[in-house]
């Protein structure tokens, strides 16, 4: 017996397969177009889809008329045989239906493709469509409705006049039946036309986006209202007319009345469901694309892009999503640049709490590194070579500092100042700074042997905060440990290895790190009133 958990897993797996299938269908380039596809190929494919939409919508309308005429149309008394009536209507249909379809295809294509604003004027051109041309594509499905509606109005008049010659009531009933087919065709033409034109619409809206003029274009509410009206409202109205006719002196037998009711309710159920499904698809499809785009953004993918193809407010929503992602991408770019300029910790704190001028006292450890003989280097080398060498040098410095938990507060030409303990406190700040000094000396001697650099490390209390004005400020650390680290660096240029730290820094470090340092003499550094006892890294025996 299958366990409940196994059944649940099976249902979940089936749901995922169905969701992948639906996503594959709704994301198909066949429906929304491939932006990299040549314009002439897109135009050919859209032309075929448009012809298909016109033919299918007319076929659906003709089927509705045929079903209604055969099963539900009341049969009044006439002076001629019914075979004569059927032959006359079939003859008219044999002439008019091919004629109307041919004219509908030609006229519909002309209304969409021809003219300075038509799709043929720009789809094969390297130039993007203008705002007026994009707006014309938005209105193209309604133009197809006008074409089909006009042809079916003519058909309604022809069939009504033809059948009125046999009996006025027959002419009225036939006219209503053909009008019902015309409404059905027009609705199907609009819905299918939107789907057929979607690849071109996606290209137009990709350029104009939410700024495209949408006046005269049905929105989501109008689309659903029309779907209900044409899919349900009109057939129900026809059913109501039959009921009214049954209350008049017109003789309608119960069998005819039953067949009429069954036919109309079948049309309501079948065609109403068809139109509702298409309307639901046209609403859910763009929402699904936005949902998938949001999922990608939540996963950190700021390259997510949603094709814009919907002519309603949902198209503006798709375009708005793309604008939002563009803004997030720009914000992330600025954030990244900001973090690189001032350090990630400083950037995070600034974005979380805002920026206020001033500072706070913090216990910090400071590492200062400076190139020895940089003036001579600049004099004997090309500027581009100097910059390339400095970038190699600073890359190693940054890598070591960040791997040890610190951050670069500033670059000063050929020198760099690294901080531990501000703006965010860190465990064993002194130990991490000392470790960085030892590793940096080894890395620079191995990977940038063309340069010699001196390193100084100091620990103490300093003021950390933003200095400057509201228009231009920077985060910095000011205090005795910064000055002491700079003086130790100057002194380290005369020592081997060229790394010096203060006794205070070694004393504040963890015992594990302090074991790597030896204490030496005390010296009075330039600009200080108190002597500093020096410490240097233990050099392993060769």
For residues 33 and 200, the answer to whether their CB atoms sit within 8 Å is yes
Which alpha helices (H) appear in 299-363, and where do they start and end?
313-342, 344-353
| Residues 6+ away with beta carbon under 8 Å from 108 | 50, 54, 143, 144, 147, 148
∠ CA 216-221-226 to the nearest 5 degrees? Answer: 80
Sole residue written with tokens 């103490």: 460
Residue 365, H or E segment: strand 358-372
Kindly state the tokens that stand for 78: 């006439």
Question: Please, what are the domains in the chain?
Answer: 33-313 (no CATH), 355-537 (3.30.70.1230)
pLDDT average, residue stretch 130-156:
82
Residue 363, H or E segment: strand 358-372
Kindly state the tokens that stand for 221: 């509410």
- Residue 265's pLDDT band, with cuts at 50, 70 and 90, is confident
- Residue 454's pLDDT band, with cuts at 50, 70 and 90, is very high
Kindly state the tokens that stand for 140: 């193209």
Higher model confidence: residue 349 or residue 500? 500
pLDDT average, residue stretch 212-227:
71
Asked if the model's pLDDT at residue 331 lies above 80, the reply is no
Res 542: pLDDT:
47
Asked if the model's pLDDT at residue 26 lies above 50, the reply is no
What percentage of the chain carries pLDDT values higher than 90? 16
Predicted TM-score (pTM) of this structure = 0.57
Asked if the model's pLDDT at residue 147 lies above 50, the reply is yes
Res 124: pLDDT:
67
Beta-strand ranges (E) seen in 11-129 are: none
């Amino acid at each position: 017996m299958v366990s409940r958990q196994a059944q649940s897993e099976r249902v979940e797996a089936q749901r995922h397969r169905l969701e992948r299938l639906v996503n594959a269908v709704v994301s198909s380039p066949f429906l929304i177009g491939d932006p990299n596809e040549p314009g002439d190929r897109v135009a050919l494919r859209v032309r075929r889809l448009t012809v298909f939409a016109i033919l299918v919508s007319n076929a659906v309308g003709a089927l509705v008329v045929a079903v209604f005429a055969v099963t539900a149309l009341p049969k009044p008394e006439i002076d001629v045989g019914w075979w004569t009536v059927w032959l006359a209507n079939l003859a008219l249909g044999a002439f008019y239906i091919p004629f109307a379809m041919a004219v509908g295809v030609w006229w519909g294509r002309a209304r969409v493709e021809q003219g300075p604003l038509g799709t043929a004027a720009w789809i094969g051109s390297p130039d993007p469509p203008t705002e007026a041309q994009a707006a014309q594509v938005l209105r193209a499905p309604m133009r197809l409705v006008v074409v089909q509606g006009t042809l079916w109005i003519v058909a309604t008049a022809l069939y009504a006049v033809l059948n009125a010659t046999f009996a006025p009531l027959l002419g009225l009933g036939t006219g209503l039946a053909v009008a019902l087919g015309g409404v059905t065709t027009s609705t199907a033409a609009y819905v299918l036309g939107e789907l057929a034109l979607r690849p071109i619409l996606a290209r137009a809206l990709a350029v104009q986006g939410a700024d495209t003029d949408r006046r005269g274009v049905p929105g989501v509410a109008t689309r659903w209202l029309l779907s209900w009206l044409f899919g349900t409202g009109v057939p129900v109205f026809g059913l109501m007319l039959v009921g009214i006719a049954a209350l008049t002196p017109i003789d309608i037998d119960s069998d005819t009345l039953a067949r009429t009711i069954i036919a109309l309710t079948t049309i309501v159920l079948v065609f109403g469901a068809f139109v509702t499904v298409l309307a639901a698809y046209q609403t859910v499809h763009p929402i699904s694309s936005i949902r998938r785009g949001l999922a990608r953004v939540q996963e950190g993918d700021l390259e997510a892009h949603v094709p814009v193809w919907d002519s309603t407010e949902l198209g503006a929503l798709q375009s708005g999503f793309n604008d939002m992602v563009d803004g997030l991408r720009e914000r992330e770019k600025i954030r990244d640049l900001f973090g690189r300029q001032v350090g990630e910790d400083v950037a995070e704190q600034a974005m979380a709490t805002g920026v206020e001028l001033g500072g706070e006292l913090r216990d910090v450890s400071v590492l200062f590194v400076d190139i020895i003989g940089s003036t001579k280097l600049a004099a004997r080398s090309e500027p581009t070579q100097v910059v390339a060498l400095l970038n190699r040098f600073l890359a190693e410095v940054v890598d070591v500092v960040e791997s040890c938990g610190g951050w670069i507060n500033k670059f000063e030409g050929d020198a760099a100042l690294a901080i531990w303990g501000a703006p965010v406190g860190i465990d064993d700040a002194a130990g991490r700074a000392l470790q960085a000094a030892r590793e940096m000396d080894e890395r620079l001697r191995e990977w940038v042997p063309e340069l010699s650099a001196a390193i100084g490390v100091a620990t103490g209390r300093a003021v950390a905060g933003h200095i400057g004005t509201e228009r231009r400020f920077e985060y910095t650390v000011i205090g005795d440990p910064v000055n002491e680290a700079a003086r130790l660096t100057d002194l380290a240029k005369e020592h081997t290895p060229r790394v010096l730290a203060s006794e205070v820094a070694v004393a504040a470090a963890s015992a594990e790190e302090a074991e790597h340092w030896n204490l030496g003499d005390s010296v009075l550094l330039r600009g200080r009133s108190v002597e500093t006892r020096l410490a240097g890294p233990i050099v392993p025996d060769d």
